[in-house]
Amino acid sequence: MEQLKRMALFATVVAKGSMVGAAEALDMTASAVSQQIRRLEEATGVTLLHRTTRKLTLTEAGATFYESCRQIVELAQQAEQRLAEQRDAPVGELRVAAPVGFSGPLLCEALAPLLSAHPGLSLSLFFQDEQIDLIESRIDLAIRVGRQEDSGLVARYVADWRMLLCAAPAYLARAGWPSEPQQLLKLDWIGLHLERSQHLTLHGPAGAQQRLRLETRISCNNILAARQFTLAGMGVSLQPEPEVRDLLASGELLPLLPDWQLEPIGLHIVTPRRDAQPAKVRYAIEALRRHLVSA
């Protein structure tokens, strides 16, 4: 058991890059850490670290040994995780990534009851439209839209959301109401991508279909910015119906071409591939699924 503890300590020293860093992480003194590493080297009969006044570097044997030690630590952490899952109590930090459009009431309404029911659970939210690296950023789950092609992740389909062409009343009073898709080409387009053009496919009555190439006057990589420009009467943009439902009800935004439908966007909950998900992730997935399906 003592040898296993020293192996775990050695893995921490390498991960932290110094004796002092490992000592802080393990609530030990640097001298105690150094002593344990020395005993580990004596027991194995191999020098594991080159020590200088400025840094530590692994020997060739130390690098090989570290991989084994790291795997042992990971197995121990997985064992602890499984014990926590048996308790089935959502605890610890839940890290969630989502597009910026979800920074309104959607996530709050879904996750606030979960936090209220489980005081040991904390929440960190990361909003950005660009896809975040879940592994590197230690994200537990992400909400993503559209096709999911990363085989290194697990994507759970949740629902399809309607997409609407929207404009402000002031803009339509100035530019006129379009009565058919081709008239969209004469309007100012607020794009959700940085490209200067975007292809749009609309499905109409009796199986009719129109494919348009719209030139953008304003390009945004953030749907909230596109929405604000739309509200300011600067043009037409594409918006997810659940996110603009209140604006449509109040008349601040108006839907265009109601007889023509756009391709819906698929909503997914994405997680890293793991043998078992902690209770906090399972509970969050269920809470989000219930709320987003009914949104």
Q: What is the pLDDT of residues 181-192, one digit of tens each?
A: 999 999 999 998
pLDDT digits (tens, 9 = 90+) for 135-145: 889 999 999 98
pLDDT band at 87 (very low <50, low <70, confident <90, very high): low
Domain limits at 120? 92-155+268-294
CA pair distance 106, 110, nearest whole angstrom: 6
pLDDT for res 47: 92
Please report, for the domain that includes residue 109, its CATH number: 3.40.190.10
Asked whether residue 151 falls in the same domain as residue 272, the answer is yes
Please choose, from the candidates 287, 226, 216, 222, the residue with its C-alpha nearest in 3D space to the C-alpha of residue 253. Answer: 226
* Tokens at 78, concatenated: 């997985």
Domain check: are 51 and 76 in the same one? yes
Same domain, 67 and 2: yes
Last residue of a domain, one of 60, 86, 112: 86
- The tokens describing 161, both together, are 């959301």
Do 223 and 259 share a domain, yes or no? yes
Query: Are residues 256 and 272 located together in one domain of the fold?
Result: no
Residue 168: the pLDDT is 98
- Tens-digit pLDDT profile for residues 254-295: 999 999 999 888 999 999 877 678 889 999 999 999 988 877
pLDDT confidence of residue 221: 83
Distance CA 75, CA 286 (A): 27
Residue where one domain finishes, among candidates 69, 86, 103: 86
Nearest residue to 145 via CA among 99, 191, 198, 110:
99
Instruction: Count each helix (H run) and each strand (E run) in the chain, helices first.
Output: 9, 14
pLDDT band, residue 163 (cuts 50/70/90): very high
Mean pLDDT confidence for 169-192: 94
- Which percentage of the chain shows pLDDT scores above 90? 54
Region of residue 3 (phi > 0: left; psi between -120 and 50: alpha; otherwise: beta): alpha
pLDDT confidence band for 220 (50 / 70 / 90): confident
Asked if residue 23 and residue 80 are part of one domain, the reply reads yes
pLDDT at 86 over 60: no
pLDDT for position 15: 87
> 70 and 137, same structural domain?
no
CATH number, domain containing residue 235 = 3.40.190.290
Are 80 and 6 within one domain?
A: yes
Whether residue 129 is found in the same domain as residue 272: yes
pLDDT digits (tens, 9 = 90+) for 105-114: 888 999 999 9
How many structural domains are present in the chain? 3
Q: Please report the pLDDT score of residue 129 as a whole number.
A: 83
Helix-helix angle 105-117:279-293, to 10 degrees: 140
Q: Which of the given ranges, 43-47, 166-170, 199-203, has the highest pLDDT on average?
A: 166-170
d(CA 66, CA 88): 33
d(Cα 96, Cα 143) in Å, to the nearest integer? Answer: 8
User: Are 283 and 257 contained in the same domain?
Assistant: no
| 114-133 pLDDT per residue, tens | 999 999 899 999 998 888 88
Same domain, 131 and 274: yes
Same domain for 232 and 281, yes or no, is no
